Chains A and B, each alone.
Chain A
């Protein structure tokens, strides 16, 4: 799966934002695969690591805005897990495989698109 971005999208925020981007015909790179989750807080470290193990170029976790998580603490927990993953990757000296968390609302399609574009840029710059 070289070159693919795996994006875990919360069904309350990022998933509808991605749908809205579609309705507006906003374009973003094709190599993204969205996995729908009920809350960013459902995403576990093992899911992120398995995606990287399979060869994902980057992993995104997208949840609700800070302070607006439907399940109150889900997005905060996701953020901590993303940080933890990055720390693990650093310890085993794997770099250039960004794992990032983005926060957005369901009516913010542009934020979804810029998140994807930003990560794509980082991947390109790290030469993968």
Chain B
């Protein structure tokens, strides 16, 4: 059994912030992550600066992740999930199952030789997204010929550091810790659930997350259909927030939409941008800068459209009720961006069951007591970040640091009672 002080589940910005605070305070930390790369959603957000910083905090995430990866007190376990929990307060036993990665991240030097020789198309072995940490290559079982029963050894043969190993089974490990911080993040609302908006059917209907990833990869925005610069863009707010299934505001969408709109206008001042909203959440850092610059040039329409149709010419016809005019209107756009909200993680159910922690009505992890939002119903198990409810990046960081504080108190109390590590 391996022992450390605290287990942090999830390596998104909140988990990383928790782990770093604890590590800097001399606490030993396991940071486990179910994916092959760490960083969660916010690691792939783009910089939205115009001629000044737009305070989106996306760059803050990459800083924190780098710090966590090099910190001697943090042990990173990727491809790992929790199978079971036992023990008692101050001395928790956690069963982890680590899926085989096939490419050993400690040996992979990201030389790229394996991708060069891989015979499949698309490649079964490839680099992770550019800002990924660790920057080690990933083998996709679904694409790899070996896992389809064929004989192929090309990548393993080409690897100069012998980082590739196929005969691997999932590994079970038992970790002994004093406290647990659950920071498993959120799922992006699946815009296909709102079928009438055309996401997944019309290529020029994108989500806010799609846009973030396009800007990071390409640096500028082009229409998916013909590669041309969009002239007329619509942002639709509250997709998956403040509706029947989601009785909350996702807190981030108005801000990211406005900042993305600002970036688009900065890159191409002639682009027409319209934002459809219910209540514009004009709070937080960066709003004042955005508003001063773009209040005249961006059209704000109160009223969220419910239907998008593609015209014969390929434009997107958006049907909405223009509340200020009191009638139903139709406007054509060449690109529509759905500002999708923060939904509870689908994995929360399993984790809640395994750890014995409650879920709230809205599907996020429940907190014990409204006057302290990190404690769960299980002593020694805390929650941090968006798995507990929607938050933006700075709030997720603060929440993670607060969770670290609560975890430290448990450690201190256990130590003084002579239990645990």
Contacts and interface: CB of A to CB of B under 8 A. Distances in A.
**Do A and B interact directly, with beta carbons closer than 8 Å?**
yes
A16 interface: yes
B328 interface: no
B interface SS class: loop
A23 B127 CA distance: 9
Nearest to A21: B130
A65 B56 CA distance: 12
Interface residues of A, number: 21
Interface stretch (B26-34, B171-179, B213-221, B392-400): B213-221
Given A20-B131, A66-B52, A107 B217 contact: no
The interface centre, meaning the residue of B59, B135, B216 with most chain A CB atoms within 10 A of its CB, is B59
Given A107-B58, A107-B59, A68 B217 contact: no
A65 B49 contact: yes
B53 A107 contact: no
Contacts of B51: 66
A12 B67 CA distance: 12
Interface stretch (A35-43, A83-91, A98-106): A98-106
A29 interface: no
B62 interface: yes
Contact of A111 (B45, B217, B219, B289): B219
B190 to A, nearest CB: 26
Contacts of B216: 107
Question: What's the interface size class on B, roughly?
Answer: 20 to 34
Interface in A61-90: 64-68
A90 B135 CA distance: 46
A94 interface: no
Contacts of A108: 46-47, 49, 219
Nearest to B135: A23
B302 interface: no
Nearest to A75: B53
Contacts of A68: 49, 53, 55, 59
Contacts of A104: 47, 49
A46 interface: no
A76 to B, nearest CB: 11
- For the complex of A and B, 7 pairs with smallest distance between CB atoms: A110-B219, A68-B53, A105-B47, A65-B53, A66-B52, A67-B53, A105-B59
Interface of A: 12-13, 16, 20, 23-24, 64-68, 103-111, 114
